[in-house]
């Protein structure tokens, strides 16, 4: 007996991109002290008042089946938040609650793709994207954004792949690069979607982590609300990663189909978690800014350290909790550098190659340890890169 092709080909026979992360975790399990700058996990836990409200809701009896689209008050709160931030009128009928952003990504693609449809996505990409598309029985096609363009995807690069495709997945603020797509970039993407009748799936889970400029949801652009599905989550904005609560904002007919999908898969999200998410949203933008502030601060620390050396390059990041660094001057690939850094300094970062070929020669650094440890790790990383570059010469 064999597993299905659908499940056995999620990785298409290739790497899942997590080798360095897994090796670091194994070292930690064996007692090695590793500074972990790999995954987007806050160094703070979910705020105590949010957990207290979750406890209140659970003890109050909200432990049975919850409404599958999501409890009405939470859907209303998300709709109001989206309306206020984008100017696009949004109601609960446009909102579906999901077990986290990853579930929302999968459900969104299931809603718009048929078996064998071509689904486009931008490289560099979050590591799960290709497998998510294969899981939805689509044919994933990556379109490279260029480091020379600061990883802003260009409409003229997308257009040749759009004919015959069904969807395009984008992510801004971007994981792994920290790039926030400009209005010009998004308008170019919107034009391609309209010209080629593409569904646009916009992963916006980092929308509260903006360090420069502004976040623009493509759903707010002319003619895009009816063809855009937006993925959101409480994970990054409210440090609720383990609570697994996210959402899809989409046209009403799509939400109706997503409710049917959830009925036959997840059967909704626990009510006491939804109540806690509602409580967290009700704390407003000041609370979201408090969650984001450590990453803003560490970004400043990182820029100071990087400005004092000339080996490691930095992709200008305007958002998210990551920095993408160019280590090609060391003569190593991103993967080679990450492994060597882990072996010599017990500092774990993600190779750029984990996020696609466009990020080769780069590493992704998550700003997710306390300031002192972050500064020490980044100084050690730069010193190590300098040593390698000197040997390379």
Q: Are residues 155 and 228 in the same domain?
A: yes
pTM of structure: 0.95
Q: Are residues 274 and 297 in the same domain?
A: no
Q: Are residues 168 and 262 in the same domain?
A: yes
Range of the structural domain that residue 337 is part of: 5-45+286-384
Number of domains in the chain: 2
List the structure tokens of 219.
Answer: 């759903």
Cα–Cα distance, 272 to 247 (Å, whole number): 16
Q: Are residues 230 and 95 in the same domain?
A: yes
pLDDT in tens, 352-366: 999 999 999 999 999
Q: Are residues 169 and 260 in the same domain?
A: yes
CATH number at residue 306: 3.90.1150.10
Flag residues of the chain having pLDDT under 70.
Answer: 13-16, 393
The answer to the question of residue 393 being in a domain is no
Residues 168 and 201: beta-carbon distance below 8 Å? yes
- Residue 41 is predicted with a pLDDT of 92
- Residue 12 is predicted with a pLDDT of 77
| Segment (H or E) for 104 | helix 101-112
Q: Are residues 180 and 205 in the same domain?
A: yes
The answer to the question of residue 56 being in a domain is no
Q: Are residues 78 and 137 in the same domain?
A: yes
Residue 282, judged by CB atoms within 10 A of its CB (0-12, 13-18, 19+), counts as exposed
CATH number at residue 71: 3.40.640.10
Domain's final residue, options 262, 283, 304: 283
Q: Are residues 144 and 202 in the same domain?
A: yes
End-to-end Cα spacing for the chain? 55
The answer to the question of residue 75 being in a domain is yes
The answer to the question of residue 215 being in a domain is yes
Q: Are residues 169 and 99 in the same domain?
A: yes
Q: Are residues 99 and 157 in the same domain?
A: yes
Cβ-based neighbour number of residue 349 at 10 Å: 30
The answer to the question of residue 225 being in a domain is yes
Residues 136 and 167: beta-carbon distance below 8 Å? no
The answer to the question of residue 340 being in a domain is yes
Cα–Cα distance, 296 to 320 (Å, whole number): 9
The answer to the question of residue 55 being in a domain is no
The answer to the question of residue 51 being in a domain is no
Q: Are residues 362 and 274 in the same domain?
A: no
Domain's final residue, options 283, 304, 333: 283
Domain's final residue, options 283, 315, 342: 283
pLDDT in tens, 288-339: 999 999 999 999 999 999 999 999 999 999 999 999 999 999 999 999 999 9
Q: Are residues 31 and 105 in the same domain?
A: no
Strand runs (DSSP E) across the chain, as ranges? 35-37, 95-98, 118-123, 139-144, 167-171, 199-203, 228-233, 246-249, 313-314, 322-326, 347-351, 362-366
């Amino acid at each position: 007996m064999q597993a299905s092709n659908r499940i056995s080909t999620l990785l298409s026979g290739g790497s899942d991109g997590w080798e360095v992360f897994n090796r670091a975790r194994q070292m930690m399990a064996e007692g090695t002290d590793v500074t972990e700058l790999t995954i987007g996990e806050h160094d703070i836990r979910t705020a105590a008042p949010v957990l207290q409200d979750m406890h209140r809701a659970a003890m109050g009896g909200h432990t049975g089946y919850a409404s599958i689209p999501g409890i009405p008050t939470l859907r209303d709160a998300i709709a109001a938040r989206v309306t206020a931030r984008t100017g696009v009128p949004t109601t609960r009928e446009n909102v579906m609650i999901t077990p986290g952003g990853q579930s929302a990504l999968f459900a969104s693609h299931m809603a718009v793709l048929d078996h064998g449809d071509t689904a486009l996505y931008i490289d560099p990409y979050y590591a799960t994207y290709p497998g998510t598309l294969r899981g939805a029985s689509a044919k994933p096609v990556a379109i490279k954004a260029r480091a020379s363009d600061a990883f802003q995807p260009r409409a003229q690069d997308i257009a040749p792949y759009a004919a015959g495709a069904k969807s395009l997945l984008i992510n801004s603020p971007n994981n792994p690069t920290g790039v926030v797509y400009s209005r010009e970039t998004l308008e170019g993407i919107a034009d391609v979607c309209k010209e080629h009748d593409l569904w646009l799936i916009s992963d916006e889970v980092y929308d509260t982590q903006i360090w420069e400029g502004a976040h623009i949801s493509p759903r707010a652009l002319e003619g895009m609300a009816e063809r855009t599905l937006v993925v959101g989550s409480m994970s990054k904005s409210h440090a609720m990663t383990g609570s697994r609560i996210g959402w899809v904002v989409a046209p009403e007919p799509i939400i109706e189909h997503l409710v049917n999908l959830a009925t036959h898969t997840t059967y909704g999200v626990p009510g006491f978690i939804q109540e806690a998410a509602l409580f967290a949203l009700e704390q407003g933008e000041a609370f979201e800014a408090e969650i984001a502030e450590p990453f803003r601060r560490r970004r400043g620390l990182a820029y100071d350290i990087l400005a004092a050396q000339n080996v490691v390059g930095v992709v200008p990041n305007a958002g998210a909790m990551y920095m993408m660094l160019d280590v090609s001057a060391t003569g190593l690939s991103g993967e080679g550098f990450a492994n060597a850094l882990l072996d010599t300094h017990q500092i774990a970062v993600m190779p750029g190659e984990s996020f696609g070929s466009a990020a080769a020669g780069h590493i992704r650094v998550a700003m997710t340890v306390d300031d002192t440890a972050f500064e020490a790790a980044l100084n050690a990383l730069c010193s190590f890169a300098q040593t390698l570059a000197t040997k390379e010469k």
